[in-house]
Amino acid sequence: MAERRARLNEVLITATAAVTGLGPDLDTTWRRLLAGETAIRPIRRFDAGRYPARNASWIEGLESRGNRSLLFPLLERLLDGFDPLPPGCRLVTATTKGCIDTFERVRKGLSGDVADIPVSGPLAWLASRLGLNDPGVNINSACASSTIAVARAAAMIESGRADAVLVVCMDLVSEFVFSGFSSLQALDPAGCRPFDRNRNGLSLGEGGAALLMMSAKTARRKGIPGIGSVVGWGAANDATHVTAPARDGCGLIQAVRRAMAKASIGPDDIAAINAHGTGTVYNDAMESTAFEAVFGARPIPLNSIKGAIGHTLGAAGGIEVAVDMRSLADRTLPPTAGFGEPMEKCVFSVRPFPQRIGGIHLLSTNSGFGGINAALILKGNPG
Amino acid sequence: MTGSIVAGIGWVTSQGPGRGREAREFSMNSGPIPPVTRKDVFPEPNLRFGRLPQYSRVGLAAVAFALRDAGMDHWETKRSAGIVASTRTGCFTTDIEYYNTVLPEGGGLPSPNLFSCTLPTCFLGEAAIQFGLTGPTFIVNDPGEDALGGVRMALESLSWGECDTMLAGHIDLAAGPAIPGIRPPYVGGLFMVLENARDSAANGFGTLDLSGGGGVRHDGIEIAGLNELVRACLAFPGRS
């Protein structure tokens, strides 16, 4: 086993970017996260007056050009000033609904570029914008899409199938998705309150993240310092219900244990958890149950950033990794915006203010429709 | 890279449902898909199947036929098996059906049942529940013309030890005139049950692996597309 591990490539994250409702770049998002601010506010993109909940976290100033999707200006903003990509870099994206606004326009009889509607549309745009030879692939696994995309990229690098992979995660706020979550009575009219006793649903958000991952060998050769590394990953289906999590957290437990086994670390090595934390009654209870099954009653610092930037669906895990890299670099876990009173039976340390991280391993998890659960273990640079 | 045995194949195409051990010919083209009924898929009454939109029915049926073909459709304890499928258009047909419930009433009567199927992965969740599958489940939107993106990723997952068994395939339905100009070349659903060659007792329909360039090979011969792959499996001389 030791011999096998020695042959595998270490997976570094060398550049990160994020666009969220809190700001046009990762620095602004990070600063406002630490201040405990939220971007969840009344929606202006469509008339939400007919829905009980009317808030979401949306990006200020996104403007469509020539009836094209708002996804493209989001991606332009995300990639503006991003590090150059090494030759041969592969592309893995994560989105659940891609150019859903174009789909809406076409179905309403308005003009829109139909070629953008399949995910091949934004994939081709990205490959062209970035000058990549790789046409890329998109991973769709509901709200765990980008977590699985990062895991896939890490496995590609570790196994030697790729030297460098750019992971791009993206999703928009749309009436299509908003009306659906509203019909499931899953939206909190007051804005989401992860791990709070009075939590009452999620808030939707939009955003994007770009993560440049490469083998340590390649990074060293190019003189590129790593921000941190991806050392463990795991995914599992709970095989219980399509839209509700397994009450016993069996899928998430399995995903976290697989990730820890991959990282060759034990439960005591995890210094902080960035949970999925949607703010729905069942999700947060399931996560608390699962984490307690894995970590026992140790009060590990735990947060969710969805009270600040909303649930960005397929982009969620990627944005969270970008933020997690900052958390590990600064040894600080951002506050859980919206959190007030602790939920019942949660042994973990959830706070409305920043918490100190006393170690170098952070667990980041996401779960989604279809029973999927995914976990990443990220490692900060020592010192 | 260690190869993977094709232990079973199942599909729903324009020619109807089928599975590897009952077929000598295969073609997945752009023709319309005949309706798939519960009785085609599950001998016993099934609470979920009748409520699913066509995309989910086709996908779930193809998974069920592949597992039946591999003798794995009956189970008692959950199994470490994942599912990955490639697609061009995902669940557009369900998206159209759902959005039609949003449009007429100005957002007043959107269907929660249909919305819960507007992710292309939802039928993978249905399959995981019906057959106790606990591995990774995801859809890959692959712009490649060969419709082998799902098979390619499943072979990688098996070689990386992510699970013991992978169901790998492809699914697409034609969106029709609702979204003009989008015509997937392979319409229907197809899944293969793949097992690590070193763990498998049977020859199945031959061995798949990946070339250095990432091409899918069947018994060492590089395959150009989905139809060619299934035909090579059905023609495998040692099939068991």
What average pLDDT is seen over chain A?
95
The pLDDT value given to residue A292: 98
Whether the per-residue pLDDT at B108 is higher than 70: the answer is: no
How far, rounded to the nearest angstrom, does the alpha carbon of residue B220 sit from its chain's CA centroid? Answer: 23
Q: Confirm or reject contact between A236 and chain B (CB < 8 A).
A: yes
The pair of three-digit structure tokens given for residue A259, joined into one six-digit string: 């990730």
Q: Which of B13, B3, B11, B9 is nearest to B185 (CA)?
A: B13
CA atoms within 13 A on the CB side of A47: 7
Whether the per-residue pLDDT at A6 is higher than 60: the answer is: no
Whether the per-residue pLDDT at A2 is higher than 50: the answer is: no
Contact A310, A204 (CB under 8 A): yes
Report CB contact under 8 Å: A117, B179: yes
The pair of three-digit structure tokens given for residue A48, joined into one six-digit string: 């939400």
Q: Using alpha carbons only, how large is chain B's radius of gyration in Å? A: 17
The pLDDT value given to residue B47: 83
| Sheet strands (E) in B21-94 | 81-87
Mean pLDDT within B66-82: 95
Q: Provide, rounded to the nearest whole percent, the portion of chain A with pLDDT above 90.
A: 93
Q: Residues with Cβ < 8 Å from A61, sequence gap 6 or more? A: none
Which residue, among A105, A107, A140, would best test binding to B if mutated, counting the most B CBs under 10 Å from its CB?
A: A140
How far apart CA B66 and CA A381 sit, in angstroms, is 46
How far apart CA A359 and CA A327 sit, in angstroms, is 11
Name the more confident of B146 and A244. Answer: B146
Angstroms from A361 CA to nearest CA on chain B: 22
Residue in B89, B107, B159 nearest the CB of A118: B89
Q: Provide, rounded to the nearest whole percent, the portion of chain A with pLDDT above 70.
A: 98
Task: Say which range, B69-78, B143-152, B172-181, has the weakest mean pLDDT.
Answer: B172-181
Note if A276 is an active site residue: yes
Task: Say which range, A188-192, B13-17, B142-146, has the weakest mean pLDDT.
Answer: B142-146
The pLDDT value given to residue A242: 85
Question: DSSP labels for B153-188?
Answer: HHHHHHHTTS-SEEEEEEEE---GGGSTT---SS-E
Q: How many residues does chain B have?
A: 240
Whether the per-residue pLDDT at A3 is higher than 50: the answer is: no
The pLDDT value given to residue A244: 86
The pair of three-digit structure tokens given for residue B73, joined into one six-digit string: 């459709």
Give B25-61 pLDDT, tens digit per residue: 999 998 899 999 999 999 998 888 999 999 999 999 9
Residue with tokens 């989401």: A192
How far apart CA B8 and CA B204 sit, in angstroms, is 7
The pLDDT value given to residue A294: 98
Examine the predicted complex and report whether its ipTM is higher than 0.90: yes
Q: Which of B151, B166, B170 is nearest to B222 (CA)?
A: B151
Angstroms from B199 CA to nearest CA on chain A: 19
Which residue, among B92, B117, B119, would best test binding to A if mutated, counting the most A CBs under 10 Å from its CB?
A: B119
Q: Using alpha carbons only, how large is chain A's radius of gyration in Å? A: 19
Q: Which of A260, A199, A109 is nearest to B178 (CA)?
A: A109
Q: Confirm or reject contact between A104 and chain B (CB < 8 A).
A: yes
Residue in A107, A120, A180 nearest the CB of B96: A107
Whether the per-residue pLDDT at B88 is higher than 90: the answer is: yes
Give A32-79 pLDDT, tens digit per residue: 999 999 999 999 999 999 899 999 999 999 998 888 999 999 999 999
Active-site position among A169, A311, A346, A361? A311
How far apart CA A275 and CA A254 sit, in angstroms, is 15
The pLDDT value given to residue B105: 67
Backbone phi, psi, residue A71, to 5°:
-60, -30
The pair of three-digit structure tokens given for residue A290, joined into one six-digit string: 């699962």
Name the more confident of B221 and A50. Answer: B221
Going from the C-alpha of A47 to that of each of A50, A74, A203, the distances in angstroms are 7, 21, 16
Contact A291, A245 (CB under 8 A): no
Residue in B107, B111, B121 nearest the CB of A175: B107
Give B161-205 pLDDT, tens digit per residue: 998 899 999 999 988 887 888 888 899 999 999 998 877 767 799
The pLDDT value given to residue A249: 96
Report CB contact under 8 Å: A237, B102: no
Question: DSSP labels for chain B?
Answer: ---EEEEEEEEEETTEEEEGGG-S-----SSPPPP--HHHH-SS--TTGGGS-HHHHHHHHHHHHHHHHTT-S--SS-B-EEEEEEESSTTHHHHHHHHHHHTTTTTS---HHHHTT-STTHHHHHHHHHHTB-S-EEEEE---SSS-HHHHHHHHHHHTTS-SEEEEEEEE---GGGSTT---SS-EEEEEEEEEGGG-SS-TT-EEEE-TTS-EEETTEE--SHHHHHHHHHT-TT--
Contact A231, A26 (CB under 8 A): no
Q: Give the single-character DSSP code of A249.
A: -
Give A102-143 pLDDT, tens digit per residue: 999 999 999 999 999 999 999 999 999 999 999 999 999 999
Mean pLDDT within A359-376: 96
Contact A363, A272 (CB under 8 A): yes
Q: Which of B130, B98, B166, B50 is nearest to A370 (CA)?
A: B130
Mean pLDDT within B97-122: 88
How far apart CA A366 and CA A317 sit, in angstroms, is 6
Active-site position among A89, A99, A192, A276? A276
Whether the per-residue pLDDT at A378 is higher than 90: the answer is: yes
For chain A, report the end-to-end CA distance as a whole number of angstroms.
Answer: 29
